[in-house]
Amino acid sequence: PLPRGKAAPPRWLEPIAPSCEDALLLPKGFSFDRVISWNDPLGSLDPDNLPEHFGFNNDFIAYFPIDALEGGVNSNEGLLWVNHEYPNPLFVSGYTPDDLKANKPKTLTQIEAERRSVGGSVLHVRRGPQGWQRVFNSPYPRRITAAYPPIALTGPAASLLPTAIGSLANCSGGRTPWYTALSCEENYPDYNTEFRWSDQPTLALDETRYGWVMEVDPFGQLPPVKHTALGRFKHENAAVTRTTSGRVVVYMGDDENDQHLYKYVSNGTDHPNASRAERRRLLEDGTLYAADLANGRWIPLVYTEKVGRLIEASPAFAAAKAANPSLRITNQAELLIHTRVAARALGATPLDRCEDCEVHPLDGSVYVAMTNNTKHGNLYGHIVRIVEDGDDAASETFRYEIFLAGGPQCGLACPDNLAFDRHGNLWVVCDMSSDKIGAGAYRPFGNNGLFVVPTTGPSAGDAFQFASGPNDCELTGPWFTEDGQTLFLSVQHPGELSSSLDELTSHWPDGGDALPKPTVVALRGPFGP
Ligand code: FEO
Ligand code: CA
Ligand code: CA
Ligand code: CA
């Protein structure tokens, strides 16, 4: 149905124009509070009794009302789980772009600094007369890093891979009905290679232990685990909902050109009166499916001898085997470790880089951001809307439509994270890669921004710009408090293109000559009528 002329924006919003200013710009009437920036002390100690700091490149944010475990919905005090996706070595470890050009090996100290900069943080925040601030002297703040003590794996692949050291590449995620965070390990192959952790053999990664979904309890009652039943790939996100019969469903994207969309459906049903430890076990036993959009069906990724023969006979398996001669898929554990191979072999549709998925709060349909696919000339990406048959997330069949096509006419390019507000407006952040911002096909869009897209009414599908970020950054992790009056947001990788500490491309948020710092901000509403 697109493109078409835009209808009027929502009455409460005066959209801003695209901008290349090194600032976080918001519409008239809105302001933000700075909650925390990279390297700020958390007030907590790590297992070696060293002070813990907020990590680098904050991404996904989930808000947990401080009284959530007692059934409360406090929107003025809560915990935040924040992902830290990847380090910028120039800032984190002092390994410069020139060092990389010179092919200089990374030192143990440099890699140790980078290991502590990724994973995630728990923060305690409160809204007072000065806006949102951190609560100090709280028992909750703590870090999970790539150096965290071994984390148990659960589910079918745990028999082969019982534990993993820490977590890394934590991109987007989700929140469970029992108030834990799901933290998704995305670009784990970059660590041994691009980040050169394999320069120090003792710190090189066994990659099979990453690329999973980690579950973290911000309240600290349950230990972190990685759920292998949810598959292993470049996990972008984990959007959680329930079926009409109360089973737990997780929609998940795999962010790479021509990879797939997945959903997990638990075997058991969720009983809100059960303990949190029991409820989390729903993520250990269930069915993982991959999406076949051409035929509107969810393909179960369940190992049987027949399925094993189909996989082994497929071109996908042959190609993967050529790259990895030790590849075997002879049981469910191996299938999950090589989820992509099984999904492709069984007919999953190659897609244009699935980023975030979100479930519409009013009608249950699933919105999936496909950010772009340069292999096929899809420069601007699009958003797909999936409607499960019978409006039941357990359904094995579905229909879909293109909800929004990115591009100059639409006003946004390369949709990435999504969030719904209580009125059903879709909030979309964009991720044009930093080296392409403001040039060529991406010139009209300015810096990466945040957009509001109504899903009903005359302006359904029209994008209105709400924020523009500082130079080189991507806005990530949008998350509303329960009352919809605060939007937490990550400003990730400002100044990412800096070639040295003397040639910084951004000084946000401190200005002057300051180093740029990834930062969590709280935007205060009212967002809506
Ligand atoms: Fe880390 Fe696909 O975004
Ligand atoms: Ca993303
Ligand atoms: Ca989201
Ligand atoms: Ca992205």
Backbone angles phi, psi at 321, to 5 degrees: -70, -35
- Does residue 358 have its Cβ closer than 6 Å to ligand 1? no
Segment 285-314 mean pLDDT: 98
Closest ligand 1 atom number to CA of residue 234: 2
The residue written with tokens 């959903």 in the block is: 263
- Does residue 217 have its Cβ closer than 6 Å to ligand 1? no
Q: How far, in Å, is the centroid of ligand 2 from the Cα of 236?
A: 6
Given the DSSP bridges, would you call strands 58-65 and 77-84 parallel, antiparallel or unpaired?
A: antiparallel
pLDDT range class, residue 3, cuts 50, 70, 90: very low
Q: What is the ipTM of this complex?
A: 0.94
List the 449-453 sheet strands across, edge first. 415-420, 426-430, 449-453, 464-468
Q: How far apart are CA 432 and CA 427, in angstroms?
A: 16
User: What single letter denotes the amino acid at residue 241?
Assistant: T
Is a pLDDT exceeding 80 seen at residue 16?
yes
- Does residue 414 have its Cβ closer than 6 Å to ligand 1? no
Closest ligand 1 atom number to CA of residue 187: 1
pLDDT range class, residue 101, cuts 50, 70, 90: very high
Distance between terminal CA atoms of the chain?
Answer: 28
Tell me which residue of 115, 183, 178 sits closest to 149, measured CA to CA.
115
182, 215 in Cβ contact below 8 A? yes
Catalogue the E-assigned strands of 157-235.
163-164, 170-175, 181-185, 213-216, 225-227
498, 508 in Cβ contact below 8 A? no
- Does residue 474 have its Cβ closer than 6 Å to ligand 1? no
User: What single letter denotes the amino acid at residue 176?
Assistant: T
Given the DSSP bridges, would you call strands 426-430 and 181-185 parallel, antiparallel or unpaired?
A: unpaired
Q: For CA atoms 455, 459, 462, 463, give the dihedral sign.
A: negative
Residue 523 CA from chain centroid, whole number: 19
> 3-class SS at 156?
helix
Tens digits of residue pLDDT in 420-465: 999 999 999 999 999 999 999 999 999 999 999 999 999 999 999 9
Helix (H) and strand (E) counts in the chain: 9, 32
Q: How far apart are CA 23 and CA 25, in angstroms?
A: 6
Tens digits of residue pLDDT in 195-213: 999 999 999 999 999 999 9
- Does residue 186 have its Cβ closer than 6 Å to ligand 1? yes
Q: Is 12 exposed, middle or buried (0-12, 13-18, 19+ CB in 10 A)?
A: middle
Q: What is the mean pLDDT of the chain?
A: 97
- Does residue 236 have its Cβ closer than 6 Å to ligand 1? yes
Q: How far apart are CA 80 and CA 121, in angstroms?
A: 8
Closest ligand 1 atom number to CA of residue 171: 1
pLDDT range class, residue 4, cuts 50, 70, 90: low
Q: How far apart are CA 495 and CA 22, in angstroms?
A: 9
- Does residue 355 have its Cβ closer than 6 Å to ligand 1? yes
Segment 460-474 mean pLDDT: 97
Q: Report the pLDDT value the prediction gives residue 294, as an integer from 0 to 100.
A: 96
Say what percent of the chain tops pLDDT 70: 99
- Does residue 256 have its Cβ closer than 6 Å to ligand 1? no
Q: Which residues of 311-337 are buried (b: 16+ CB within 10 A; e: fewer)?
A: beebebbeebeeeeeebebeebbbbbb
Q: Count Cβ atoms below 10 Å from residue 101 Cβ, excluding itself.
A: 8
Q: Which residues of 167-198 are buried (b: 16+ CB within 10 A; e: fewer)?
A: bbbbbbbbbbebbbbbbbbbbbeebbeebbbe
Q: How far, in Å, is the centroid of ligand 3 from the Cα of 479?
A: 7
Closest ligand 1 atom number to CA of residue 431: 3
pLDDT range class, residue 7, cuts 50, 70, 90: confident
314, 344 in Cβ contact below 8 A? yes
Closest ligand 1 atom number to CA of residue 371: 2
Closest ligand 1 atom number to CA of residue 169: 1
- Does residue 85 have its Cβ closer than 6 Å to ligand 1? yes
Q: Report the pLDDT value the prediction gives residue 5, as an integer from 0 to 100.
A: 64
- Does residue 185 have its Cβ closer than 6 Å to ligand 1? no
- Does residue 334 have its Cβ closer than 6 Å to ligand 1? no
Q: Which ligand is nearest to the CA of 57?
A: 1
Q: How far, in Å, is the centroid of ligand 3 from the Cα of 83?
A: 12
Q: How far apart are CA 427 and CA 81, in angstroms?
A: 20
Q: How far apart are CA 189 and CA 254, in angstroms?
A: 14
Q: How far apart are CA 350 and CA 316, in angstroms?
A: 12
Supply the residue whose CA is at minimum distance from atom 1 of ligand 1: 171
494, 471 in Cβ contact below 8 A? yes
Fold category of 31-301+346-524 in CATH:
Neuraminidase (2.120.10)
